Amino acid sequence: MTAHAEGDLIARREGSAGIIRLNRPKAINAVTLEMFRDIDKALDRFEADPQVGLILLEGAGERGLCAGGDIRALYESSRVNGDLGKILWREEYILNARIAEFKKPYVAFMDGIVMGGGVGLSAHSRHRVVTERTKLAMPEVGLGFFPDVGGTWLLSHAPGEVGTYFGLTGQTMNGPDAVYSGFADAVVPSDKLAALREALTKVVPGTPSSEVASLIKGFSTGETSGPVAALEPRIDKWFGFDRMEDIVAALTRDGSELALATLKTLGEKSPRGMVVTLKLLRLARGASSLEECLVREYRAALEVFRSDDFREGVRAAVIDKDRNPKWSPPRIEDVTPEMIAPYFVEIGNDELVFGQTN
């Protein structure tokens, strides 16, 4: 075993596995710009090492793989018109695309909390393992943002309108929900993770991904659908529209307890964030690749970074924690096409480009 720097990210070889461990357990492993850069360097090293047969991503501590990106740092930069958003999201999204295309098998242990940026590091990988403790969510609309890190690609490929539901409400998926929605591949009981991990460190370099999948399957419960699958017919009926006003109207008409609870949840989110999210999700359905969605997300993210809604959403959720954001505009019907247009325009020299070094 060769050890490297053990700071916020631990990257080392154990047996034939290149281990990448997010190592900020007190922050539920929230990812910083430096951590993204260190992951990229670790992938360079593991890709070139003939003794590494696969990559294993895991989170330190008991609470989860990753609670997302370092939102507080982005908030502080946004307040002073800084450029952290432009830099961090560029490098993060390029890394997300790299993970999706990585040549060696890439296994992600999505145990506990997996949100936002943590989804970007795990849900694009080849082998995605969830547990009975998994709580996976893309809650960005509650921050005046939208599901990024390729979230629009993943959500738009979920069955029916399930992805639209999760993207707009920010609701949490359990492990089987994540498999059903296309965010994960196998549910493995948390008490079997150590044994699976041990087996993965013994995988012979050059072993094809299909054999790694079979190995993981041997530890799995075989579950492929969770609570959301039973709700899908109702979700499809409510969320099968291209305008937020129509979704709200469908939920209001239904009037059931679940519909009204969903309506209440939507009422807490950023109206502008929801309209932008819905449009991104509909565009993603016609996208030919993850990278196409990431380019679009990057354009929208830079606009979000400049917006009062993002700062207000983070203030209410993370800084002051009063859970009472004052959205601008405050109502869905006040979000105009003119407000939304800047999120979808080409950005010239700032466009996200793949295949280049950072």
DSSP state letter for 147: -
- Helix crossing, 162-169 with 257-267: angle to 10°? 50
Q: In terms of Cα–Cα distance, which of 151, 171, 31 is closest to 21?
A: 31
Indicate which residue of 8, 92, 148, 185 is catalytic. Answer: 148
Contacts of 302 (CB under 8 A, 6+ apart): 85, 86, 89, 347, 350
Q: In terms of Cα–Cα distance, which of 337, 339, 345 is closest to 327?
A: 339
Indicate which residue of 8, 38, 58, 140 is catalytic. Answer: 140
Q: Is 149 buried (19+), middle (13-18) or exposed (0-12) by CB count in 10 A?
A: buried
Give kind and range of the element (H or E) at residue 331: none
Q: In terms of Cα–Cα distance, which of 305, 295, 288, 173 is closest to 229?
A: 173
Its sign, for the CA torsion 237, 256, 249, 303, is: negative
Q: How far is CA 122 from CA 55, 231, 286, 353, in A?
A: 11, 26, 23, 21
Is 140 a residue of the active site?
A: yes
Indicate which residue of 53, 59, 69, 120 is catalytic. Answer: 69
Is 240 a residue of the active site?
A: no
Indicate which residue of 59, 117, 163, 273 is catalytic. Answer: 117
- Residues counted in the chain: 358
List Cβ<8 Å contacts ≥24 apart for 326-329.
327/144, 327/270, 327/271, 327/272, 328/272, 329/271, 329/272
Residues with catalytic roles: 69, 117, 140, 148
